């Protein structure tokens, strides 16, 4: 292979990386109470991948997810998201990063006073370049695509656990994010609902070409992933393609 071709391939590989983490450590607390949570993390997430991050409780999975998502400030090492360094980044850069990320949590975090459609629309209202008429149109279209076309005006209290998680998926994906970060999205669901939710997330995100990172204890859904990453005691112990 020529040097030119090698350089091109290297550049394409870099361009394909949506998250690049190197030598990342993270601590909670100060002084004598200071405790290290993450140790020397090296991890790359590529465009279009589905990655499952698993490990025992307390291993640092959620901490790592919140750092990648710009929800917490990384302290040392390097954490680049969409090519931007977040270690030492100012608050406005973290906010800008979050606008390109969709979040799905175990507790669906829907607002009880808003309908399914209004909950999904909230995600779009952060984007100034989307017209109000398009906001409603996109919210309805995505709720239809997750099988909730007849429930767009339902309030969360009138939806099942699986339906609420589908609203959360629609809310996460409606703005066409580059990454979806899902923290235990099936934990509160039965086996079938959990499977349906993850397969739906996988299908919709693949249609949009975005990367999905799922933090889970649920061994029943491991086969949906392209890669499996395991974290134990704050260290990556496995990073393998399925």
pTM: 0.85
3-state secondary structure of 208: helix
- pLDDT (average), residues 95-123: 90
Backbone angles phi, psi at 206, to 5 degrees: -65, -35
Distance CA 52, CA 64 (A): 13
User: Which among 50, 41, 46 has a CA at the least distance from the CA of 14?
Assistant: 46
* 19 or 187, higher pLDDT: 19
Q: pLDDT tier at 2 (50, 70, 90 boundaries)?
A: low
Q: Pull the structure tokens for residue 181.
A: 């970060």
What number of helices (H) and strands (E) belong to the chain? 7, 10
Lowest mean pLDDT among 36-45, 163-172, 194-203: 194-203
69 contact partners, CB below 8 Å, separation of at least 6: 97, 98, 101, 103, 179, 181
Q: pLDDT tier at 190 (50, 70, 90 boundaries)?
A: confident
The answer to whether residue 8 scores a pLDDT higher than 80 is no
Q: pLDDT tier at 15 (50, 70, 90 boundaries)?
A: low
């Amino acid at each position: 292979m020529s040097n030119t071709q090698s350089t091109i391939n290297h550049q394409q590989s870099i361009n394909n990386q949506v998250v690049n983490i190197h030598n990342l450590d993270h601590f909670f607390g100060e002084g004598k109470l200071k405790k290290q949570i993450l140790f020397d993390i090296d991890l790359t997430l590529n465009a279009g991948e589905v990655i499952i991050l698993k490990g025992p409780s307390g291993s640092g999975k959620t901490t790592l997810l919140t750092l990648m998502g710009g929800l917490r400030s990384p302290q040392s090492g390097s954490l680049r998201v969409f090519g931007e360094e977040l270690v030492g980044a100012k608050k406005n850069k973290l906010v800008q990063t979050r606008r390109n990320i969709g979040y799905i949590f175990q507790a669906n975090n829907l607002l009880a006073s808003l309908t399914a459609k209004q909950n999904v629309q909230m995600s779009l209202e952060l984007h100034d370049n989307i017209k109000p008429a398009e906001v409603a149109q996109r919210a309805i279209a995505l709720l239809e695509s997750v099988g909730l076309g007849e429930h767009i005006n339902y309030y969360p209290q009138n939806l099942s656990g699986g339906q609420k998680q589908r609203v959360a998926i629609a809310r996460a994906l409606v703005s066409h994010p580059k990454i979806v970060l899902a923290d235990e999205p099936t934990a509160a669901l039965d086996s079938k609902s959990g499977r349906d939710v993850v397969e739906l997330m996988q299908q919709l995100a693949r249609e949009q070409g975005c990367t999905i990172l799922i933090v889970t204890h649920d061994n029943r859904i491991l086969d949906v992933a392209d890669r499996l990453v395991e974290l134990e005691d704050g260290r990556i112990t496995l990073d393998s393609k399925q």
